[in-house]
Amino acid sequence: MDMSVDKLTDEVTRITLTGSLDIKGAAAVEVPFTTVAGANKRIVVDFTAVDFVASIGLRLLVGAARTVARRGGKLVLCGVTPPVARILTVAGMDGLLPSFPRVDDAVAALGA
Amino acid sequence: MPASAADISLPVEPESVATLARWLEARADGLGLAGTTREALRLCAEEAATNIVRHAYPDGVRQARFLARIESNGEVTLAFDDDGIPFDPTRYVDDAQAGEIEDARIGGVGIRLIRGFASGIRYERVGTINRLVLAFERPAA
């Protein structure tokens, strides 16, 4: 799994993930992902190129979203593919990790 | 063993989860599995194997191995054998998820996913072995 980070606006940071967020992928991005989450308050995680997510990946996402929320911020997803969306729904995470079709919608939802 | 069965023995280590996924991809190709059945198989295999690797041997793995076996007889079944601590996922009580992210619980999500994506789950303790059998419906051609 690959990860890149860029600024969408002065206040919104995008984390782009590519690959599978499985046990191997989660281990590969855990440290940088958690670091970015700890240093920013408004985060869009771009899932356009994520083909699979397992519970260990959801653990990483929820942990980061919780960290951000406790500092008064918000983490949202964009570009989630239908197979990954089904996993989020069955896991009961769709209400905790808001998801938007396009990155512009996600930025708007963050109020930035 | 039925003609459409295959198995693999793997060491109890994180890398084995990825090895199992690659092995299952090839088996799924051979069985002609596609779409939601294939996705469910991949996800449930990942969750069951991760659970063994992370939780079945709290005192250390001591060169332990686990076995995965796929069979196809109308439906597809994926079975796991390990000799770790007894754990019956069919008896796991899944509390409701919190409504706010600040209160979200992270444990138990893997079992919730297996329950949601497998069409059947069976567990038995055979001597010192945990045997978990997951079933997947195979859409009619």
For B56-107, the pLDDT digits (tens) are: 999 887 789 999 999 998 889 999 999 999 999 999 887 766 677 777 777 7
Q: Mean pLDDT, chain B, as a whole number?
A: 90
Residue B106 near chain A (CB below 8 Å): yes
Question: DSSP letter at B98?
Answer: P
Measure in Å the smallest separation between the Cα of B105 and chain A Cα atoms. Answer: 9
Q: What whole-number percentage of chain A has pLDDT above 70?
A: 99
Instruction: Among B42, B109, B111, B114, pick the best mutation site for testing chain A contact (most A Cβ within 10 A).
Output: B109
What is the CA angle A90-A96-A98, rounded to 5? 95
> With an 8 Å Cβ cutoff, are A58 and B106 in contact?
yes
Q: What whole-number percentage of chain B has pLDDT above 70?
A: 94
ipTM of the complex: 0.91
Instruction: Among B16, B94, B106, B112, pick the best mutation site for testing chain A contact (most A Cβ within 10 A).
Output: B106
Contact call for residues B136 and B78 (beta carbons, < 8 A): yes
Residues 6+ apart with CB under 8 A from A17: A1, A2, A3, A25, A29, A45, A46, A47, A49, A50
What's the pLDDT at B138? 81
Largest Cα span, chain A: 35
Tell which B residues from 43 to 72 touch A, by Cβ distance under 8 Å: 43, 46-47, 50, 53
Q: What is the pTM of this model?
A: 0.91
Specify the higher pLDDT residue, B63 or A29. A29
What's the pLDDT at B46? 97
pLDDT, tens only, A66-94: 999 999 999 999 999 999 999 999 999 88
Report the Cα B136 to chain-centroid distance in Å: 11
